[in-house]
Amino acid sequence: MANDKQVKSKVSIKDIIGTGSNIETYRALTWEGSFEDYLTMVKENPKITRSAFERIYDMILSYGSVEYEEDREKVIRYKFFDDPIDNGNDAVFGLDRQLMKIVNLFKAAAQQYGTEKRVFLLHGPVGSSKSTIVRLLKKGLENYSRTDDGALYTFKWELKNEEGETEWVSCPMHEDPLHLIPEDYRERFIETLFGESDDIPAAMYSELCPFCRQTFREFLKEHQGDWGTILSHVKVSRLVLSEKDRIGVGTFQPKDEKNQDSTELTGDINYRKIALYGSDSDPRAFNFDGEFNIANRGIIEFIEVLKLDVAFLYDLLSASQEHKIKPKKFAQTDIDEVIIGHTNEPEYRKLQSNEFMEALRDRTVKIDVPYITRLDDEIKIYKKDFYEKKVRGMHIAPHTIEMAAMWAVLTRLEEPKKAQLSLLQKLKLYNGKSLPGFTRDNIKELRNESVREGMEGISPRYIQDKISNALVHEAERKSINPFMVLNELEQGLKSHSLIRNEDQRKRYRELLSVVKEEYTDIVKNEVQRAIAADEDALKRLCGNYIDNVKAYTQKQKVKNVYTGVDEEPDEMLMRSIEMKIEIPESRKEDFRREIMNYIGALALEGKTFDYRSNERLQKALELKLFEDQKDSIKLTSLISNVVDKETQEKIDVVKSRMIKYYGYNDESATDVLNYVASIFARGDAKNTSNS
């Protein structure tokens, strides 16, 4: 029996991965052929000879884009930056304008308008997604090189090793096979392969790396200058870019200044092979494995690029401007790669003040990558990190992430110059909310006058750390709420390493108070709506209001449903509802006629009026019903711990609505009801003392 169970539970690899498809993929990615095979492919599909800039631009476009209008301007969101490769793991939110600038730079570089001769420098505060953007580009190139559309090729040499055995040795810099065409023959090949086209790949004008040049010369000597025979020692192969394998994707991170060594960028002598080849200037005794070498055909990332020693800058300048590098003891060598670095504000300020760095500044294209200033986009960052499964069953109460994100965005916004506009209102305008007296043009003006907005403030990492702290500290509970996270954020300000002075710390604390007030308004409204969510009672109240409004506008009387007596319209009832949405006495007639005209228009279309179709009226009815019912529910009795059975049943109904309609669990709904009850209790106490 035991053996039977083992057989039944046996894991089958074939069942998991299937058969056939992985073998076909492997064959495609490891394709090898002759030089003539490659020339045939080039003639049929010249795209395989694209430059690194062309390839990265096409890669981004291959995922598609969405165009939309924001603040009267056209914005393009490139879907690539949603990270479809990794299911959104490195998705970038809220930076569509900045990403559009980056893509436009790639486009200009792909078309050789000059930006291909520049270092792309992402500049912004810590935690603003600079590294994530570069990581995405590297990952995208790797993945694209595995597709048919992104295929690229290199070549190998048939050589004898130290033991005299024949082996195939790849070009150490993964060059395009077109580099093998001698200068004398290039015009003929251009005519044959590309015809009248003006779009001739740069590879047709590039030279072999020192290792391949030396190998070519050796074979040239052996075969008496017969180039065709030399090519019999060459095999073209598919090239798959991979950072882990150090093929086409490089990363350079400066060490401390005393230990920086330029050979990390351009390769170093292999001392073991000097004895074999007799000279340290023989390319076979050199390791072409610097980051510039291995990143050829792809992309190189410079982490904190401005921390580079000045000696490194010469390599960087020639690599960007001339697309050449200078390995030790060898001639300048052609490279084809995207050079992209990132740095923070203090380092960039040092660059601006350093006159020795003028040449670098001149060859750098700076792209600002600020913090997000749109609330909905900031919320997406934290929702990606803190969802139900990831937090292992801990419930995050509604508005917890929203309030933390709101505070983060407020710290990044500049105070509005318009006296009648608060910082919180500015945040809401940026987030797409309409406010009386403000148009989309006004919002554009607000953005234009806030030059450094998003370049300072609280980093998303700080918010993520404090949400994590709250989850850990409240482990005995089933949920965390906004106050727990806001308290963590406030306590952390005491030791925040990036806060420059006490004024800044004070401002951040004041903004936490603003967020707490906003949260109080939100939950009060939610509890009010949950209490007033009695559908039948709302319909009755609405019907009563409409009957009275109809009688008022038509100068008629209303029949009392209890006594049957015709009475004047109930002005007290109508005003008690209208005042909930701040309709003044002078506007009451306009509002009532507006309601009756709307009902009449619906009737002509054969439709029935529903209070939910008028947002303002719905809000007024809910607030009125809440006012009528809150005393019968006795919400304030929650904080006195003396609740009779009937009241408890009513409170349980409200709690169930909070859970059903607003996303609370039992614990967080209880927290909110207790909090709102304490507010009402304070309000009642104030009213009593005032009277």
Contact 403, 515 (CB under 8 A): yes
Token pair listed for 500:
């420059």
Please check the confidence at residue 687 and state whether its pLDDT lies above 70.
no
Structure token pair of residue 452: 């450094």
- Determine contact, residues 431/374, Cβ cutoff 8 Å: yes
pLDDT tens figures, 121-148:
999 999 999 999 999 999 999 999 999 9
Query: Which DSSP letter does residue 206 get?
Result: P
pLDDT of residue 359: 79
DSSP lists the bridge partners of residue 324 as 334
Q: Tokens standing for 86?
A: 């990794």
Region of poorest pLDDT, from 148-157, 187-196, 563-572: 563-572
pLDDT score, position 685: 40
Average model confidence (pLDDT) across the chain? 87
Q: Would the CA dihedral through 32, 36, 39, 45 be positive or negative?
A: negative
Checking if the pLDDT of 56 tops 70, the result is yes
- Number of Cα atoms under 13 Å in the Cβ half of residue 139: 18
Is the pLDDT reported for residue 319 higher than 70? yes
- The number of angstroms, rounded, from the C-alpha of 638 to the middle of its chain's C-alpha atoms is 43
Q: Which pLDDT tens digit goes with each residue over 500-519? A: 789 999 999 999 999 999 99
577/621 Cα distance (integer angstroms): 6
pLDDT, residue 690, reads 40
Using a 10 angstrom Cβ sphere, with 0-12 exposed, 13-18 middle and 19 or more buried, the burial of residue 60 is buried
313 or 624, which is more confident:
624
Tokens found for residue 590: 């306009």
Give the pLDDT mean for 584-588. Answer: 91
Q: With a cut of 90, say whether residue 272 has pLDDT above it.
A: no
Instruction: Tell which wins on pLDDT, 193 or 634.
Output: 193
Instruction: Kindly give, in sequence order, each residue whose CB lies less than 8 Å from that of residue 229, ignoring residues fewer than 6 positions away.
Output: 223
What would the pLDDT profile of 653-675 be if each residue is shown by its tens digit? 888 989 998 999 999 998 998 88
First to last CA, the chain: 84
pLDDT reading at 638 higher than 60:
no
Q: What are the pLDDT digits (tens) for 550-583?
A: 999 998 988 877 777 888 899 998 999 899 888 8
Q: Is 3.30.70 the CATH number for 152-354?
A: no
Q: Where are the domains of the chain?
A: 152-354, 535-614
Higher pLDDT, 149 or 607: 149
Cβ atoms of 130 and 111 closer than 8 Å: no
Alpha-helix residue ranges (DSSP H) falling in 147-257: 186-194, 210-222, 227-230
Q: Considering only residues 129 and 310, tell me which one the structure prediction assigns the higher pLDDT.
A: 129
Q: Quick one: average pLDDT of 286-301? A: 95
Lowest mean pLDDT among 127-131, 195-199, 533-537, 664-668: 533-537
Give the number of other CB atoms < 10 A from CB of residue 390.
10
